[in-house]
């Protein structure tokens, strides 16, 4: 389990963007808005046009060598970054970047100041790469700009800060936090369209509920995302459960899973001395 970060103050997110109005409402509503009001996180939206140094607020230009589209100037990005306090990480959204995962979110949640560069058009001048500490990608697809990716990262990271969520333990069993997909959840009504809440969840046996939830998480992961099992922290009992769910011994070996516990030997009671064998 990843230890909780112990920040001395709020985690500040600074976003360099040409369209701050896209991120402003996202960062002001619901849990994020409340976290900002309580001083747990801070969101700083920097309009790169303010650092264009020309009357038309132009931040881009045509690419050298020709080609379609416009490229955001490196000097504009550098001046916008220079207006900010020192950052723990300066992050560029890029298709060539490191995949953004829960593990990365947990790492970033322990920082104090994160700066994100949100591109538009054909992206940034390649020399911007020398100004950043990390490149991130949220998937193998193309969007019109980095603001939607920034919103994803903002929510994924901010929710991990102590105090942001109402229940401090609520994120620990989330999909990917445990290495597995999350188990299914149920609430009222008890029965809906011939589907009832599983009996085990209504019985109050916490040990049985925990075992059922673990089995369901393993079942979902095996069925829907078996690739996750290669990096999940599996126990010998998990291996035994996976075998009952249809996994093979070769699967367990491929995932690096520990061997299941040996079967329990039957408890044969010794017969008292002098007792006839046929009795």
The one catalytic residue in 89, 107, 174, 251 is: 174
The verdict on whether residue 182 carries a ligand-binding annotation is no
Q: Is 122 part of the annotated catalytic residue set? A: yes
Rounded to 10°, the helix 147-158/30-37 angle is 60
Instruction: Using alpha carbons, select from 124, 60, 51 the residue that is nearest to residue 91.
Output: 124
Residue 209, annotated ligand binder? no
The SS3 assignment for 56 reads coil
> Is 174 among the residues known to form the active site?
yes
User: CA-CA distances (angstroms) from residue 159 to 97, 101, 263?
Assistant: 23, 14, 42
Contact 210, 237 (CB under 8 A): no
Show the beta-strand stretches assigned E in 118-246.
134-137, 191-192, 195-196
Q: Please state, in angstroms and rounded to a whole number, the distance separating the CA atoms of residues 176 and 154.
A: 17
- Phi/psi of residue 39, nearest 5 degrees: 75, 20
Could you give the CA distance from residue 135 to residue 126 in angstroms, rounded to a whole number? 12
User: Is 91 labelled a binding residue?
Assistant: no
For residue 182, indicate whether it is catalytic: no
36, 73, 120, 159: the catalytic one is: 159
Active site residue 202: no
With contact defined as beta carbons under 8 Å apart, do 277 and 251 qualify?
no
- Give me the half-sphere count of Cα atoms (radius 13 Å) on the Cβ side of residue 238: 24
**138 is an annotated ligand-binding site residue:** yes
Marked catalytic residue, from 42, 50, 89, 122: 122
The one catalytic residue in 85, 95, 162, 261 is 95
144 annotated to bind ligand = no
Classify strands 71-72 and 60-61 as parallel, antiparallel or unpaired: antiparallel
Using alpha carbons only, what angle is made at residue 84 by residues 81 and 90, rounded to the nearest 5 degrees? 55
Residue 157 annotated as binding?
no
Q: Is 9 annotated as a binding residue?
A: no
Give the annotated binding-site residues for S-adenosyl-L-methionine.
119, 138-143
Give the annotated binding-site residues.
119, 138-143
Which residues are part of the catalytic machinery? 95, 122, 159, 174
């Amino acid at each position: 389990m990843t230890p909780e970060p112990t920040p001395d103050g709020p985690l500040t997110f600074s976003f360099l963007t040409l369209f701050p109005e896209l991120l402003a409402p996202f960062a002001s509503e619901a849990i994020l808005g409340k976290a900002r009001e309580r001083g747990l996180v801070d969101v700083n939206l920097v309009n790169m046009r303010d650092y264009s140094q020309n009357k038309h607020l132009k931040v881009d230009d045509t690419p050298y060598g020709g080609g379609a589209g416009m490229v955001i100037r490196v000097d504009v990005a550098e001046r916008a970054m220079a207006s900010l306090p020192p950052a723990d990480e300066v992050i560029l959204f890029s298709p060539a970047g490191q995949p953004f995962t829960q593990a990365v979110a947990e790492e970033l949640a322990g920082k104090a100041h994160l700066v994100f560069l949100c591109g538009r058009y054909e992206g940034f001048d390649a020399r911007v790469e020398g100004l950043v500490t990390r490149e991130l990608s949220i998937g193998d697809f193309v969007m019109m700009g980095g603001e939607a990716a920034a919103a994803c990262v903002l929510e994924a990271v901010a929710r991990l800060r102590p105090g942001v969520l109402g229940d401090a333990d609520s994120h620990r069993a989330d999909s990917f936090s445990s290495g597995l997909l999350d188990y299914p959840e149920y609430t009222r009504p008890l029965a809906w369209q011939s589907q009832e809440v599983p009996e085990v969840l209504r019985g109050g046996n916490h040990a049985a509920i925990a075992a059922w939830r673990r089995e369901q998480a393993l079942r979902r992961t095996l069925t829907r995302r078996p690739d996750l099992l290669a990096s999940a922290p599996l126990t010998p009992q998990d291996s035994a459960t996976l075998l009952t769910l249809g996994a093979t011994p070769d699967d367990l070996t491929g995932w690096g899973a520990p061997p299941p516990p040996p079967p329990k030997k039957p408890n044969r009671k010794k017969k008292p001395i002098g007792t006839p064998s046929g009795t």
